[in-house]
Structure 1
Amino acid sequence: MSTPTPASGSSPAAKNPAVPARPVTGLELQTGGPVAPRKVWSWAAFDWAMQPFNTVIQTFVFTAMYLVSETFADPVVLAEQGKVAALAQLSSGLGLATTIGGIAIALVAPVLGQWADTTGRRKTWLFWSTLALLGSMAALWFVQASPDFFWLGAGLVALGVVLNQISETNYNAMIVSVATPTTIGRVSGLGWGLGYSGGVAALILIAVGDLTGLASLDAPNGMTFRWIAVAGVVWGVVFGWPLFRYVPEVVVETRPRLGVVQAYVELLHTVRTLFRTSRTTFWFMVSSAVFRDGLSGVFTFGAIIASAAFGFSGLEVLIFGIAANLVAGISTIVVGRVDDRLGARRVIIGALSVLIVAGLLIVALHPLGPVVFWVGGLLLCCTVGPAQSASRSYLARQIPAGHESEMFALYATTGKAASFMAPAMWTLFVTITGRTIWGTLGILLVILVGLVLFLTLRGDQSDAR
């Protein structure tokens, strides 16, 4: 990776040759004035478009209310060990599937990230990965209400997680074309906020359908859940197209496409160069990989905790999901402006600290019943979005100009290299204890490790905007 040289006198290296020059970032080159609102909103709307997978499929509805339910429980375990043990087995199985998916991303992301970067056609890569994601959602139609179909459902959800993260790599890289140094925090927050708002809208539609009987969740053979998956595909197409129409491609210098082996060699070269020239960015990649996996685990297993550990009914899970996404969306958009004023570092530290405290309270006060999850869970949801959004803006402020896709690909690669941690710790804690609630501690442990690693980083001037 060749690193652009900053303007004369723009870094300490200008006075002290022993200090490595801080590269000029892509955001610092955005001097053409405000970005057209249509471009910003088209980019942010893509998060709204893809939200049915994150909120409806992966978190609150398809997995929590359908896939991890008595419908798919092993009848032998259900009869001999009871409902709690049977649901814990399903939770562990889903965790295993997503763990395998995380390992798969760690293996393929370097190659796909290099190919997207060398061709410079990020929208094309985003288009095909999004199309594949929508295809995996459509295939959930074939997951019938029987234990025989559990692994098909878990496998398709895990595949969706892989495809979703591949899409996110190129989506994140395009943020530089719709933001400036003074708006990166609020633009990133707008994207995350619209994503959560899209989750609210989708969950409200599902709740209305269930309450009115138009789409009852008790329909035979899981028909409503299967139709919900198909409806998510339509949602993605309707709201996702503006990005491909109005957001410009990030202009980069194209390079010859690398083979599989060469891509891994180039990845190692990029990591070594990053370590020599941008030490803070390097260690941010490491620390954020850990806590971002923990944040993903919160939403992957949150609704399962509500239903399996706190006894929420299907409708209660749905209502909680609406409230959770609502507070997450509002807090993320609001804190995005704080990000621009105080810097992403402070936002990340504050959000992760509050999240850990809220999670510990949920576990400690679990015997008091559902009210604990309502209060603690909503507090926890107020922190996840801001931490995710601030992580994206933190990195965008550090990336050398012309290397946005390469760095966000590495961001995704390191994240997915660690993506087995939260599912694995969840699976380990649930398997050892035989109780779903203790899986929460596994996720919190991952987040705590990430926070401790992040605290070792020095503050950076480019972050204090």
Structure 2
Amino acid sequence: MSETTIAESVPTRPKSQWGQVLAWASWDWGSAAFNAVMTTFIFTAFYLTTDIFGGADYTSQVLGWCLGIAGVLIAILAPVAGQRSDHSGRRRLWLGINTLVVVLLTGSCFFVLPEPSYLLLGCVLLALGHVFSELASVNYNAMLLQISTPKSIGRISGIGWAFGYLGGIVALLILYYGLLSPEVGFFGISDENFKYRVVALFSAAWIAVFSLPVLFAIPENKADPTTPKIGFFASYRELFRTIARLWQHRRHTLYFLISSAIFRDGLAAIFTFGAVIAVGTFGFAKGDVLIFAIAGNVVAAIGAFSAGYFDDRLGPKTVIVISLIGLLVSAVVLFFSSGKTIFWIFGLLLCLFVGPAQSSARTFVGRLAPRGGEGELYGLYATTGRAASFIAPILFASFIAWFGSQRFGIIGIAIVLLAGLLLLIPVNRPAQA
């Protein structure tokens, strides 16, 4: 079956402007404060899922259920958000609006007091943050095609992911040495629980500051004047017609969207629950987790940056398949192992393979996106990804509930990765430009 690819559907674009590339990647740098600081390594692992709120097993289940519900909301909203930004020519505007909401939700986590009754508030704020972060990324990912050429899309996508990991490193270092490690941190703050609440304010400011460059450097996408404007509910009818067209004429694009929905949910779960498992199952102290987080982000950045090179030469499917196999092997070893040394070795291998899988999944879509439909296809990418985003959190929570141990949550995540790999194998490779 013939697939329309980026090389076929988009006229030759001018050489990438590296100032715009760096401004675009700055958004990834800023978003690390939500992904790494809030939901992975500090606020969630050290504060929200601790004994203060009810213990690791209980709080992990509540967080898992909330993120699962967030996935359903993203599945409903993301494709229409991308479609409407394409049609309206307001991609940059909606990137700014959704990012602002993430900033406000992140800052609101300051009001999550160290009492069990505030657990649900914290989980809901983080879940909503995931929703609006994903909606923002629909427009952000579509901008990739505005600043890249068919021959450079893999490399530029890898730069974006690498910036995200490096931004996480810098943010974590600032927070650890300036706020969390000293007995008295920034502004004379000494109360431990209050420090974690201040982390939320720092993260909100970090996201806001580093999200600004892309809003000034990348021009607004132009709407197609021949495309009629449609209402919100009519957008869903158009969405179903788009899916029908993919099924009839570009079936392997649809196959990829489905397979990537599964494996990307597993990738997200690794970052969401990785630090929680390190503390609750492998006995990491807070300082150990932060050191691991910094090392893990360095390794992930190297993996993502390297992925761009191999993506442009071997194609994104090869990079994704190798990465998923590496992730599965590492997860299985961790499940049957104990001790910090084993977690250091195979946890870092997880970080090494996550970045390439994420980056090449994004370029896979970019190589398939038709001109004028980038946002809609990336919206479907987000939707199919988040339509399945309840699977890993729910399996993670369910396996803990069934077996009474957080360790078994690893199996839930591994099952999702394996399913995504098996569904990806028969998908046709996109044509290389």
Same fold (TM over 0.5): yes
The answer to whether the 8 Å contact 1:26/1:401 transfers is no
- The answer to whether the aligner puts 1:233 opposite 2:211 as a matched pair is no
- TM-superposed CA distance for 1:331, in Å, is 1.4
- TM-superposed CA distance for 1:59, in Å, is 0.4
The answer to whether the 8 Å contact 2:315/2:429 transfers is no
Letter of the aligned partner of 2:207 in structure 1? G
- Equivalent residues in 2 for 1:95-174 (5 A)? 95-174=64-143
- The answer to whether the aligner puts 1:50 opposite 2:31 as a matched pair is yes
Residues in 1 aligned to 2:146 and 2:195: alpha-carbon distance in whole angstroms? 40
The answer to whether the 8 Å contact 2:92/2:215 transfers is yes
Residues in 2 aligned to 1:356 and 1:320: alpha-carbon distance in whole angstroms? 20
RMSD of aligned alpha carbons: 1.8
Match of 2:320 in 1: 348
Residues in 2 aligned to 1:40 and 1:241: alpha-carbon distance in whole angstroms? 14
| 1:428 maps to which of 398, 415, 422 | 398
Letter of the aligned partner of 1:429 in structure 2? F
- TM-superposed CA distance for 1:111, in Å, is 3.2
| 1:313 maps to which of 285, 292, 295 | 285
Match of 2:351 in 1: 381
- The answer to whether the aligner puts 1:363 opposite 2:335 as a matched pair is yes
TM-score (norm 1): 0.89
Alpha carbons of structure 1 residues 272 and 133: separation in structure 2 relative to 1, 3 Å: same
Match of 2:231 in 1: 259
Residues in 2 aligned to 1:99 and 1:24: alpha-carbon distance in whole angstroms? 32
Letter of the aligned partner of 2:393 in structure 1? P
Match of 1:8 in 2: none
Match of 1:331 in 2: 303
- The answer to whether the aligner puts 1:274 opposite 2:250 as a matched pair is no
- TM-superposed CA distance for 1:206, in Å, is 1.6
Letter of the aligned partner of 1:41 in structure 2? L
Q: Please give the per-residue CA displacement for 1:25-64, whole angstroms capped at 9, x wherever unaligned.
A: 3786352442111011111111001110000001000000
Match of 2:425 in 1: 455
Match of 1:224 in 2: 195
The answer to whether the 8 Å contact 2:56/2:276 transfers is no
| 1:187 maps to which of 144, 156, 173 | 156
- TM-superposed CA distance for 1:324, in Å, is 0.7
Residues in 1 aligned to 2:7 and 2:134: alpha-carbon distance in whole angstroms? 23
Q: Please give the per-residue CA displacement for 1:212-269, whole angstroms capped at 9, x wherever unaligned.
A: 3342899437211111111111112221111011112233415444334312211110
- TM-superposed CA distance for 1:405, in Å, is 0.8
SS of the equivalent of 1:296 reads helix
Structure 2 unaligned residues grouped into runs of 5+? none
Letter of the aligned partner of 1:223 in structure 2? F
The answer to whether the 8 Å contact 1:27/1:181 transfers is no
Letter of the aligned partner of 1:250 in structure 2? N
SS of the equivalent of 1:250 reads coil
SS of the equivalent of 1:397 reads helix
- TM-superposed CA distance for 1:165, in Å, is 0.5
Letter of the aligned partner of 1:381 in structure 2? C
Deviates more, 1:27-36 or 1:433-442: 27-36
Letter of the aligned partner of 1:119 in structure 2? S
- The answer to whether the aligner puts 1:410 opposite 2:391 as a matched pair is no
Letter of the aligned partner of 2:96 in structure 1? F
The answer to whether the 8 Å contact 2:80/2:379 transfers is no
The answer to whether the 8 Å contact 1:137/1:160 transfers is yes
The answer to whether the 8 Å contact 1:365/1:372 transfers is yes
- The answer to whether the aligner puts 1:94 opposite 2:63 as a matched pair is yes
Residues in 1 aligned to 2:5 and 2:302: alpha-carbon distance in whole angstroms? 33
TM-score (norm 2): 0.96
Residues in 1 aligned to 2:69 and 2:166: alpha-carbon distance in whole angstroms? 30
The answer to whether the 8 Å contact 1:27/1:401 transfers is no
Letter of the aligned partner of 1:212 in structure 2? P
Alignment coverage as a number of residue pairs: 430
The answer to whether the 8 Å contact 1:192/1:329 transfers is yes
SS of the equivalent of 2:208 reads helix
- TM-superposed CA distance for 1:24, in Å, is 5.5
